[in-house]
């Protein structure tokens, strides 16, 4: 069993980087002498009396003075003595070296023996007598002060990129997880963040939130100053119209950013090509080298406007010379709108086909009913403005105008089948064929039905038989009729329903004003309320069948006025009329007799009275 002093002496002689303790000559001689004896005195060796004598205190004190005095929780600087894949050994001047996991130094892959690192003493001596240290905890204890100091002094620090996160990267800086925004990685847009994971890079601390202890760092800030100096030098040499070579740096929906060698310029989507461009990716690719021309630049804002299409002649300059109004052209539908379609007949040369020029039909429809993007179409040039680079085209002009020989194909009196297109209060608009429309007036729908609105008679989209009544070629409209396809029943009714004739009918639609009477011979008439009174004083109601006398017949207005009451009141007025005439005649005779009997007795005064009497009789 070795005593502690012997163990300390052994460690002292075998441990590297320890200052050797001088052992006096007598002790060494005593040890050598003990080996020469045949019998080893273990008791003496255990008590150190054979080596040191009876008092070892001086030697223990001398040994303890060679060791560092450390305490748990203390932060020290130590020297790296060994580095492998799993562990890092650090000498802090203690009796043994401390062991730290290699993972705590991932941020510094260049760590090597001889480097000085800060460590935190977790345990001065564990059960195995091992010194336990932590580099991570030491960094964390000092990191916040160091980060704040780096921000104040604008110091360049190193950090280890741990992983990706939303919008950027997580960087280990002094043991603190700092945020590196994607926009602060480099001056150019980064397309692949993963290539930075696991790398150690230099950064500047740009923002600290003291309350939430958040740190934001930037790598871009290290190179911006140099880039700004390059920009000023490059912009100072720029001229409008100058042609440069650049590299496609970034592509957006509105344009392309070109790297001109330290300064960026923008090619707007409208300056990529003379033709229509839906997305810049149709024209250029990332990292592609292309030539651009400088359109404009701003020294103050350091903005440079570039163009690609300006490197070629405008296509209108060549195409317009070979096109004139009336020519037939072919092209591709590139853009659709409700009002028409844009047709590209050559790159950068487009014409508009308005929806009204797509069909001879006068029914306003959307252009999508006729064409779609990508369709190849033939068209006729209707108008051409070379100065404004505008052209209007038409499709319907490729077919004959249906109104050219309208009189021959749809002569007055001919019968046709049409399609109901629309209603108005006064009639129905129909289409006989595409481009040929007509109107059926509400009065020409039926001979007998009283129609308040055309929707009571037909429906939109339904076929209807018509007869051409009139042609208005100038306004491209036909006057049509439906009832004319049948014989006019009022011509027959005129011979049947003569005034004072009596006919059987059924009461319907009775109200306070009267009732509609459906006549047995056809058609219907109207009887006012006073004409519905029966002989017994009651009134006819819906469903009653009775005789009705025709009081009035009007063919033009299609009106038949009836009365049931007149059928039984006819005799009474005649008798009263005859009696009144008889009374008048008797009165006249009596008056004549009276005058004759008094003729002989009359005087001049009487003659005047007689004259008055005769005048009264004559008046009667």
pLDDT exceeds 80 at position 35: no
pLDDT exceeds 50 at position 15: no
Do the bridges between strand 303-307 and strand 98-101 make them parallel or antiparallel, or are there none, so unpaired? unpaired
Domain range for residue 84?
A: 75-141
Of residues 548 and 234, the one with the higher pLDDT is 548
What token pair was written down for 559? 């009106």
- Farthest-apart Cα atoms in the chain, separation: 220
Please check whether residue 577 lies inside any domain of the structure: no
Q: Are residues 98 and 83 in the same domain?
A: yes
Please check whether residue 228 lies inside any domain of the structure: no
Question: For position 378, what pLDDT does the model report?
Answer: 92
Domain boundary among 223, 244, 262: 223
Q: Are residues 93 and 105 in the same domain?
A: yes
pLDDT in tens, 570-608: 655 555 555 555 555 555 455 545 544 544 444 444 445
Q: Determine which helix (DSSP H) or strand (DSSP E) holds 619, and give its type and residue range.
A: helix 604-619
What token pair was written down for 490? 């009022």
Question: For position 267, what pLDDT does the model report?
Answer: 92
pLDDT exceeds 90 at position 268: yes
Domain boundary among 163, 188, 223: 223
Long-range Cβ contact pairs of 309-314 (< 8 A, separation 24 or more): 309/271, 309/272, 309/273, 309/274, 309/348, 310/271, 311/243, 312/274, 314/274, 314/348, 314/389
Question: For position 592, what pLDDT does the model report?
Answer: 42
Measured distance CA(161)–CA(576) in Å, rounded: 126
pLDDT exceeds 70 at position 476: yes
Q: Are residues 444 and 470 in the same domain?
A: yes
SS (H, E, C) 15-35: CCCCCCCCCCHHHHHHHHHHH
Q: Which of 99-103, 262-266, 411-415, 567-571 has the lowest mean pLDDT?
A: 567-571
Neighbours of 515 (CB within 10 A): 25
Please check whether residue 373 lies inside any domain of the structure: yes
Domain boundary among 398, 417, 444: 398
Arithmetic mean of pLDDT, 417-444: 87
Strands (DSSP E) found in 114-213: 116-123, 131-134, 156-165, 168-173, 176-181, 200-209
Alpha-carbon distances of 144 from 140, 150, 154, rounded to whole Å = 7, 10, 15
Measured distance CA(288)–CA(282) in Å, rounded: 13
pLDDT exceeds 50 at position 453: yes
pLDDT in tens, 163-199: 998 889 999 888 788 999 988 888 777 778 888 888 8
Arithmetic mean of pLDDT, 214-242: 80
The pLDDT confidence band at residue 119, using thresholds 50, 70 and 90, is: confident
Q: Which of 116-120, 433-437, 470-474, 583-587 has the lowest mean pLDDT?
A: 583-587
Arithmetic mean of pLDDT, 462-483: 87
Residue 394 Rama label (left phi>0; alpha psi -120 to 50; beta): beta
Arithmetic mean of pLDDT, 277-303: 84
Question: For position 4, what pLDDT does the model report?
Answer: 45
Tally of domains in the chain: 8
Neighbours of 393 (CB within 10 A): 28
Q: Which of 24-28, 139-143, 278-282, 422-426 has the lowest mean pLDDT?
A: 24-28
Mean confidence (pLDDT) of the chain: 78
Q: Which of 363-367, 428-432, 600-604 has the lowest mean pLDDT?
A: 600-604
Q: What percent of the chain has pLDDT over 90?
A: 11
Measured distance CA(61)–CA(518) in Å, rounded: 141
pLDDT in tens, 498-533: 888 999 999 998 898 999 988 888 888 899 999 899
Please check whether residue 579 lies inside any domain of the structure: no
Question: For position 56, what pLDDT does the model report?
Answer: 58
Please check whether residue 70 lies inside any domain of the structure: no
Q: Are residues 39 and 106 in the same domain?
A: no
Residues 6+ apart with CB under 8 A from 87: 99, 100, 101, 102
pLDDT exceeds 80 at position 295: yes
Q: Are residues 386 and 328 in the same domain?
A: yes
Place of tokens 């009887």: 527
- The CATH number that applies at residue 495 is 2.40.50.140
The pLDDT confidence band at residue 1, using thresholds 50, 70 and 90, is: very low
pLDDT in tens, 342-351: 998 888 888 9
Please check whether residue 580 lies inside any domain of the structure: no
Question: For position 352, what pLDDT does the model report?
Answer: 92
């Amino acid at each position: 069993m070795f005593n502690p002093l012997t163990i300390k002496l052994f460690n002292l002689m075998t441990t590297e980087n320890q200052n050797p303790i001088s052992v006096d000559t007598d002790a060494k001689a005593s040890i050598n002498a003990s080996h020469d004896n045949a019998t080893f005195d273990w008791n003496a060796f255990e008590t150190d009396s054979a080596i040191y004598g009876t008092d070892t205190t001086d030697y223990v004190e001398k040994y303890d003075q060679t060791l560092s005095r450390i305490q748990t929780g203390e932060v020290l600087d130590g020297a790296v003595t060994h580095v492998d894949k799993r562990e890092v050994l650090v000498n802090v001047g203690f009796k043994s070296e401390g062991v730290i996991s290699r993972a705590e130094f991932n941020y510094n892959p260049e760590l090597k023996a001889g480097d000085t690192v800060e460590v935190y003493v977790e345990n001065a001596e564990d059960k195995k007598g091992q010194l336990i240290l932590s580099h991570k905890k030491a960094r964390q204890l000092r990191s916040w002060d160091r980060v704040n100091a780096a921000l104040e002094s604008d110091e360049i620090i190193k950090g280890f990129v741990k992983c990706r996160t939303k919008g950027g990267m997580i960087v280990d800086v002094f043991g603190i997880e700092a945020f590196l925004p994607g926009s602060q990685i480099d001056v150019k847009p980064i397309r692949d963040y993963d290539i930075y994971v696991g790398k150690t890079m230099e950064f500047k601390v740009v923002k600290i939130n003291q309350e939430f202890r958040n740190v934001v760092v930037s790598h871009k800030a290290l190179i911006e100053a140099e880039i700004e100096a390059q920009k000023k030098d490059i912009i100072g040499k720029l001229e409008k119209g100058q042609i440069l070579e650049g590299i496609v740096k970034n592509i957006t929906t509105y344009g392309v950013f070109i790297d001109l060698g330290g300064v960026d310029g923008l090619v707007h989507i409208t300056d990529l090509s003379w033709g229509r461009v839906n997305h810049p990716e149709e024209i250029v690719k990332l990292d592609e080298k292309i030539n651009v021309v400088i359109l404009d630049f701003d020294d103050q804002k350091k903005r440079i406007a570039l163009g690609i299409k300006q490197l070629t002649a405008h296509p209108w300059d060549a195409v317009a010379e070979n096109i004139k109004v009336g020519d037939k052209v072919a092209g591709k539908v590139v853009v659709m709108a409700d009002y028409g379609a844009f047709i590209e007949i050559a790159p950068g040369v487009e014409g508009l086909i308005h929806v009204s020029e797509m069909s001879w039909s006068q029914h306003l429809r959307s252009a999508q009913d006729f064409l779609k993007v990508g369709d190849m179409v033939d068209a006729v040039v209707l108008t051409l403005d070379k100065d404004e680079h505008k052209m209007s085209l038409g499709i319907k002009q490729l077919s004959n105008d249906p109104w050219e020989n309208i009189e021959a194909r749809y002569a007055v009196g001919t019968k046709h089948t049409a399609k109901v297109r629309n209603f108005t209060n006064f009639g129905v608009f129909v289409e006989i064929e595409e481009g040929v429309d007509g109107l059926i007036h509400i009065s020409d729908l039926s001979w007998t039905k009283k129609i308040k609105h055309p929707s009571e008679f037909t429906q939109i989209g339904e076929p209807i038989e018509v007869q051409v009544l009139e042609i208005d070629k100038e306004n491209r409209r036909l006057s049509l009729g439906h009832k004319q396809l049948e014989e006019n029943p009022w011509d027959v009714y005129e011979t049947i329903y003569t005034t004072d004739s009596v006919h059987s009918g059924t009461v319907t639609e009775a109200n306070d004003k009267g009732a509609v009477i459906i006549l047995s011979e056809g058609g219907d008439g109207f009887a006012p309320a006073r004409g519905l009174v029966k002989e017994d004083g009651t009134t006819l109601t819906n469903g009653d069948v009775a005789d009705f006398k025709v009081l009035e017949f009007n063919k033009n207005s299609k009106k038949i006025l009836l009365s049931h009451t007149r059928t039984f009141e006819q005799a009474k007025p005649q008798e009263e009329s005859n009696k009144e005439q008889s009374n008048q005649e008797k009165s006249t005779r009596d008056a004549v007799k009276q005058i004759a009997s008094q003729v002989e007795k009359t005087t001049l005064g009487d003659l005047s009275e007689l004259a008055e009497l005769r005048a009264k009789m004559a008046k009667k």
